[in-house]
Amino acid sequence: MRIKVCGMTDAEQVQQLDAMGVEFCGFIFYPKSPRFVFKYMPAINIKKIKGHINKVGVFVNAPSDEILQTVDSCGLYLAQLHGDESPKACEKISDYISVIKAFRLAEDDNILWKIKDYMEVADMFLFDTEGVGYGGTGKKFNWDALLGLNIDKPFFLSGGIQPTDIPALREFCKDKVAKDLFSIDVNSKFEVSPGIKDMDKVGAFVKELKG
């Protein structure tokens, strides 16, 4: 199973993730986030990070020109749009770089209805937990809402995933919706402080999940 570790702010930790076989790392370019990466390192330092790991930029309602400039200056491989971006905005970005469109899910959301207008303009989806504002909540949404659905597009599963969730993830993967599960996405439950990961905890999780 592929893994994305989001909210990275330290280049050395990204290299450690790469050595572990983690496929994706996320850098948050939302100034209101405590993990806003430009508070910790400049674009050139992000661009210098090399390896097999795929660098994902997380943006919230940012102008398309700003996103594309950041993609270039930081050497990003994917753009995750985590705000209220319209299908048209997604399409404009996806003409330049692969796009992950994030959806923050509330308990009673009709997921297929939420994603339908984005099927042709996003390359992948990400499902996260609805909260106040646009940052991660560190809480799970009810994964049962996805069970039995045909998403018909690769998706990331996010929202407060923690080290003890491996049995639940394995159970989730037995459902037909998991044919489209592309990667899981972890962040705050693996931190010692915002943007700094507990690498022992991450390493143990990666080893068990991929084992």
DSSP 14-56: HHHHHHHT--EEEEE--TTSTTBGGGT--HHHHHT--SSSEEE
Domains of the chain: residue spans and CATH: 2-195 (3.20.20.70)
Residues 6+ away with beta carbon under 8 Å from 158: 6, 102, 126, 127, 128, 129, 136, 184, 185, 186, 187
Segment 113-148, tens digit of pLDDT: 999 999 999 999 999 988 645 655 567 888 999 999
Segment 29-67, tens digit of pLDDT: 999 999 999 999 999 999 999 999 999 999 999 999 999
Q: What is the pLDDT of residue 134?
A: 60
Res. 184 pLDDT band, cuts 50 70 90? very high
Q: 184: alpha, beta or left, given left = phi > 0 and alpha = psi -120 to 50?
A: beta
Q: 28: alpha, beta or left, given left = phi > 0 and alpha = psi -120 to 50?
A: beta
Q: What is the average per-residue pLDDT within 100-112?
A: 93
Q: What is the pLDDT of residue 139?
A: 72
